[in-house]
A and B are shown apart, each in its own frame.
Chain A
């Protein structure tokens, strides 16, 4: 173990050293490192695998400092701990009680979450504890409080847990802004970040400490803080400065942006990770892994406690059902996903913590969270999608880092076997594919600016400087900041219609103030960046006999929630899989979906309700491409996969790792074009939309397209292969990078995904009010659909802040435009066309996606298997 304890003396007070000794522990090197760094006032990032004692390392400096302080009634808040999960904050508060009590320390630890009662919240402001544990949203509320300056004025330390999970989202943007405010309220603050292993620790190191002011602001002479006259001319003077900069010689070499110290704990024992190969032939498409269910059940029988991870809620439901079908031993196997009723989830978690369960089938909801020491096996069904995600999941087993975690990857089809092999290689090489650092979102900034006005009157220049000290916003220009302030004040419209209703007003002293208490109240109701899809409760109802379609409402228990969008597509009599059962939809009563249990043997007719599907990571995609391109690597693959690749090589071509293979062939009176960029379903769907437009302009009559994680298939009414043959530049032009220009814009504007993205930005930025679960619909005319707002805004002010925010999200989020752009660049001059007279083995996999998106269940799988058999026969004949 690289992490050998040093002599206990080093910085650790006797009381602590003794306490470690009574527990039979010794302080670990990284715990002492953090103690030393924080003790000398330096911020630090601790990167460690699970089970390394990360949390204790984060709190040790504060406990030591507070223990040395002696008793004092009015010490003020010393340490703030922020966790992405409410449950984690509560759990850690409990874990801190033991050392504090056992060492007899006079330290008060409290949590503050959405569940904290009002009287306690008030008291926490008036008489804060020494250590407060909370979530990013609650922190935002706290710094927007009128008393924030007093509350945080003597804050010494902030601990950010699971930082790797926070920084990749808008929540991370919001937290970075809160952190910037904390650094300003308490300039000597030490920030400690705790993170799992990440690809670019430097990004997290920058996140923790205030970034230097941009050169532009440095060059600019800061006006005297109390002369209102200078401020009016701010804009023009800045503009002048920047223009002048063009002729100023380059400054001295950049020492690089400020970063926190780095403490790294190397991984413990290597994970014992394998691909589950049952020897059965896997299909070319489909993700259910139904062939492997008996093997998975056997693994559950052979282990103490197993976590079975899947990628979608639908798959969780399916797997849970299949395992219970096999469960002759009646093992306690439970289900856990985000749509289930919260009390049911808590019950499952409690049973797990008490060691009463043998297996939990779960989605990403259990990727992070409370330690369960007893898990001795992790199974991941379906494609791993990302190396870091799979490592995080493996880490959920055996939360002691000195013992190897044991895990199986279970592929659902032959392509997923390739992906599993690529993930095994990545884990072996300890390679990470965590996402890139984010550019701070403007909608989040708008929310924060209003919060800062609620806290106190603000000077725009000082607030700007504070905001650009947050790493995600380091590149924010003064003009962009002014636009955000304008948005907060009056909506940011070119048509100055709302001046007299402004939410924040600039006084003669140059400071911005919130208009009234109602605006502050609105801010508090809207804080946070997590936009839950509007959901309706699913409640069991009793069907009335003799009156088909009528039910006794509100009679049964609530099973959970489904997205309103999904509920809206249901008609009475539809059956669907939910909470481990096949349910029959009986109608909506008020805001609840009434269901009854469908008769035994009923197949669910409606395929799915929404649930996150992760796209294949760029990194893993590159590994899959490399694996395919190199036949010398194939002996590591299961035989059925290498056979399949051999067939592809003899029928068509296997593309090189950087190439794009395009195949064309006729089939059933239509013409097909397939392409294999391996860039994930989202990027491929966008690509499909754009290629269809181009093929239409080329009069090739595109009729439809299908996409999966590996490729796309487009079918046309005219022979696209022939066209490629006689017009040499045609294919290069078809895939030319400029498709991301006007075509993309035109398509994006109409896309439902874009509207959904816009809605989220509008809610975060406070344009429209959040709807809370359980809040009743208030009838017509009260709520305005964001689609209507989007259409009007797009037409009349296409460069509005919120539209820009939505486009920025689309680039990386649902539409993965950024990734598509990188792919188009990669394949320039590397497109390989193969005209075939029939479908190739590689193309079969994506052809099977046609019409599949909304087909599910056993019956459907049979049909698909049949279709697949026919197609393969055709390909190999």
Chain B
């Protein structure tokens, strides 16, 4: 009998592993809580380092899906139960399936920047997040701040909700450094006369071509990188944001007025998914993400045979890393069901 696999979450990881599993000859059901597939990528205008369109990337992945894959959208998974040698997966709307294996591709949630109140998100109009900025890019409208003015200065704050014990997140979200570099360049391309600042702790340019992009940002676009964590921001009467930051290389406190402040919100494990992992009895680790059976040898396996993980549910990843992880998960499932 054809083995059946339920893949939970139809972001890039879910889509790619479903495509691979289906091609390997398995029956696949892909469950998604939203109306549409694609996850965070739907809202992302351009991907680093090549500035590939998020929309086109998703379209390309979806194109690879075998028509045999059953896609169950608008269904929130509310229960997973291991029964003998199979799993029963059920949704909030009464949907239920038996599966020989389950792949968790539940992804991340964006850090809620309201939690860094001192940065003023949700309080000052011209403080936005990196995700808000992507939406603005995607809208194709002229680049202006909330007062309809072209900002003369734009600031990017790295590590918002990442590497910050004050919000209980010790982990690095990996993608924000390069995203900030990418977004800073995009802003510069739109308003060449603007001064753009990046406030960082360390710059983690670990991926291929990242360092080149960073170099370009400095040399070609004259983006200023200031090492120092923002302490707070205030708003002046014209809606400008005044940021207080220490330049730790110069050892001096700075106050810089910007027309727009972009917070590079990090990745967190979604509490809603925690309910699922608890149901399965998967261990919680301090950073919240799902722990693989072995980080080197079995990165797609969990402690529970038949339950697999791929993508950002097991830690922050770039889209390209997520895609590779999804393919490797498909092979791990195939080996298990052999």
Instruction: Decide whether A and B are members of one complex.
Output: no
A residues sitting closer than 8 Å to B (CB atoms) are none
